[in-house]
Chains A and B, each alone.
Chain A
Amino acid sequence: MGRSGIVRFLHTAAGILSYPQDPRSFAQLFGALSSAHYTRGRITRIHRETPDTVTAFFTAGDGWIPHRAGQWARIGVEVDGKRIWRPYSLSAPEQGDPSITVRAQGTVSEHFVHRAAPGDVLYLERPEGQFILPEMPTALLFMVAGSGITPVMSMLRTLMPRRPDHDVVLVYVSRNRQSCIFHDEILELADQFPGLRPVFWFTEERGRLDASDAATVSALCPDHPQRSTYACGPDSFVTAVENLGDGSGTAPVVERFNVTRAPTDGQRGEIRLERSDLTVEVGESETILEAAEHAEHPLPHGCRMGICHSCLIPLTDGAVTNIRTGELHREPGPVQTCVTRPAPYAVFDA
């Protein structure tokens, strides 16, 4: 019996006494990072990168797997009593203590920048994402804007120590030097590893960078068509990089930040029931529950007036509005279908 076998045996044995709670719920009282429902982590250190950006280092409990450079993870924090989740790129190198680098934009990011402190508990999902380097990369061009540097920083910190001569050009657009995350560290890396050539572009001094214009990019990196290109940043910037070139080279590997569908409480809406592979239109005066029933697809329900919580099904994407309170709900998790409408599109794991 290996270590995991012993752990499983102890878990089962303790479970007889802790039933119906999971024994890990009791272990939490002693500060353990274990949970029956989540992988938890704890912030170990907060490092301020720029006036509005911090890096939060954390340790992760059972269930976490080490990330590959460039990947992101959904991370949950508690803001005003409510668990909220957001995806963040991991900025630490592979094999290092995981960290995320966050600029204060939006509820969760502002929480990290202004209120998070060492000791805070984080809720973690496993790292994922295909914005990663191949085993044996060729010459590279990174095109990043703003906080798009975060996954690329993980790649540079991982790649350069392993292959100090690897030919890498980093074109990094930011407003000015003060808001340029990792500015000094990138210069230090370039000093240490001769293969890395960073090009900073400060829009306050030079205006917007048109990343779709071959002449502009050639001036910064003449051999860009011969390089594997990785682009990360706001949607418009990444799209510009995709439009660069004549289509003869390989398409860039991209990661988009800030792609959000603004929720609205439209007249009509639509729901998607993933497990049943069904899309249902929701009329103007219908609740999600009623619309599903009209489509002859009954969902679980009880009181039909929003009090009994028997109709909860998990929202996975989109948003719903509560018709009793007008409250907009866009966090993944169970919602009451008998008093909600899609706003205007909602996807359920049902």
Chain B
Amino acid sequence: MTLTPATAPVTGAAPPAPRQPRDPLQLTDRELDELAAELDTVREEIFSQRGQSDARYIRRVVALQRSLEMTGRACMLFSRHKPLWWTGVGCLSVGKILENMEIGHNVLHGQWDWMNDKEIHSTTWEWDFVAPSAGWQRTHNETHHTWTNVLGKDRDVGYNVLRMDPEQPWKPVNLLNPVINLFLAPAFEWGIAVYDVELDQFFAGNKSGRATFEDFKRVMKKLGRQSAKDFVVSPLLASLTGSGKASIKGFLAANVIRNVWAHAVIFCGHFPDGAETFTEDEVENESRGHWYRRQAMGSANIDGSRLMHFMSGNLSFQIEHHLFPDMPSNRLAGIAPRVKEICQKYGIRYTSGPLPRQVFQAWRKVFRLALP
């Protein structure tokens, strides 16, 4: 085996593909160690390169997001004029999407912690989303990213309300799968906020009543402030120009657009065809190589333009993000060809497809698994 040289250009000539397709589940421990070494090399190379240009990138995104948000809010004050309503909704939707995905999600992963700047740090960031950062970091960073696609461990497989894997036992309520998902999409941020309270864990006896109540209180407090901002205070100010009602509609539209888009992108991460799930037995005593293999096999990318990648917070590079959750998002596109090459070398399927196809496949699963 040869390690990819550290200075290899990302678009360099691919090593000859193995003739026989390999079964990734048959990889020996030694081969898995080699896989881990190759991926670690990619990680270390990028981590050692992080510097001024990365810092400038994220600061510019933050400045763009804040400019959009201020413009959007200003337009809403005069939103009884149609052009301003549309401009406002556009700015606020894009602003919220950037805030939640390219900024919030990635900052809360600690992707920018290396800058040692409290203004953009996983320990201080609070995002424009009703789910409080701290609770989301627990359910997402700890639970989902450590136990990705392990049935019974990764609560993101169906978010407790959907049946998203044939191995999950069928219950009559699963007949409502498509209806639930249809309602979940526009209300995604509220769904995630409730999900992070982990009521299921409380009922299963894994979470104390006190901890659950504390989480519930935190969610309600943030939900209150988020709602007051968009649906009470801003419309009151807008009513000074007779734009009160129009601005409520505008803020509602922006929130829903963000929710529907986030829901679509996130459902493309692990639910399209080709993304595998695992059992708890399979992940016992996992080595780093095992863990990398599971992350790659359980995730799916979205193909598309640079704008699409940007608007999805680079979650369209879901495989790369799951292999290296704390790698700055602006670096994922650059390593994708190398990661794909490594996956292919070890016979690991590199699932990827255009957005409409991935969304269609995720929805097809929602419908199919509604039935036993």
Given the known interface contacts A25-B66, A303-B145, A308-B141, the answer about A331 and B116 at a Cβ–Cβ threshold of 8 Å is yes
Asked whether B226 is an interface residue with its Cβ less than 8 Å from the other chain, the reply is yes
Nearest residue, chain B, Cβ from A37: B118
In angstroms, Cα B124 to Cα A35, docked, is: 13
Please give the number of chain B residues whose Cβ is less than 8 angstroms from any Cβ of chain A in the complex. Answer: 50
Using a CB-CB cutoff of 8 Å, which residues 290-337 of chain B contact chain A?
291, 324-326
Cα–Cα distance between A324 and B48 once the two chains are bound (Å): 12
Given the interface pairs A307-B325, A310-B142, the reply to whether A19 lies near B119 with Cβ below 8 Å is no
- Residues of chain A contacted by B222 (CB below 8 angstroms): 20
B341 CB-CB contact with A under 8 Å: no
A166 within 8 A of B: no
| CB-CB under 8 A for A81 and B52, given A302-B138, A307-B325 | yes
Instruction: Flag whether B55 is at the interface (Cβ < 8 A).
Output: yes
By a beta-carbon cutoff of 8 Å, the part of chain A in contact with chain B is 16-17, 19-21, 25-26, 29, 35-38, 78, 80-84, 302-303, 305-310, 312, 324-325, 331, 333-334
8 Å CB contacts to A: which residues of B350-371?
none
Cβ-defined contact, A325 with B126, below 8 A: no
CB distance from A77 to the nearest CB of B (A): 11
User: Which residue in B44, B63, B115, B146 is a CB contact (below 8 Å) of A83?
Assistant: B115
Q: How far is the CB of B265 from chain A (nearest CB, A)?
A: 21
B117 interface residue (CB < 8 Å to A): yes
**Complex: how many Å from CA A36 to CA B117?**
12
B350 CB to nearest A CB, Å:
20
Number of A-B contacts (CB under 8 A): 108
User: Is B110 a contact of A309 with CB atoms below 8 Å?
Assistant: yes
- Cα separation A19 to B117 with both chains bound (whole Å): 20
Question: B117 to chain A: closest CB distance in Å?
Answer: 5
Q: Is the CB of B66 within 8 A of A307?
A: no
Q: Which residues of B sit under 8 angstroms from A26, Cβ to Cβ?
A: 66, 70
How many Å lie between the Cα of A80 and that of B324 in the bound state? 22
Q: How far is the CA of A83 from the CA of B119 in the complex (A)?
A: 11
* B63, B123, B137, B228: the one within 8 Å of A334 (CB): B123
Closest A residue, CB atoms, query B67: A29
8 contacts between A and B (CB under 8 A): A78-B117, A81-B55, A81-B114, A302-B138, A307-B325, A309-B137, A310-B142, A324-B40
Judge whether A19 and B116 touch: CB under 8 Å. Answer: no
Contact A38 B119 (CB under 8 A): yes
Contact B142 A308 (CB under 8 A): yes
A334 to B119, CA, bound (A): 13
Assess whether B142 is in contact with A20, with CB atoms less than 8 Å apart: no
Residues of A within 8 A of B145 (CB): 303, 307-308
> Do residues A303 and B115 form an inter-chain contact, with CB atoms below 8 A?
no
Chain B residues with CB under 8 A of A78: 52, 55, 115, 117
Select which of B40, B115, B142, B233 is within 8 A of A17 by beta carbon. B233
Residue B229 at the chain A interface, CB threshold 8 Å: yes
Q: B116 — nearest CB in chain A belongs to which residue?
A: A83
Inter-subunit contact B127/A20 (CB<8 Å): yes
Given A17-B229, A81-B50: A334 touches B121 (CB 8 Å cut-off): yes
Most buried by B among A35, A81, A303, A312: A81
Contact residues in A for B54 (Cβ distance below 8 Å): 81
- In the complex, chain B residues whose CB is within 8 Å of the CB of A36: 119
Chain B residues in 8 Å Cβ range of A19: 225-226, 229
Distance to closest chain A CB from B92 (angstroms) = 12
Specify which chain B residues have a CB less than 8 angstroms from the CB of A38 in the assembled complex: 118-119
Closest Cβ of chain A to B141, distance in Å, is 4
C-alpha spacing A81/B54, complex, angstroms: 7
Q: By the criterion CB–CB under 8 Å, are B123 and A81 in contact?
A: no
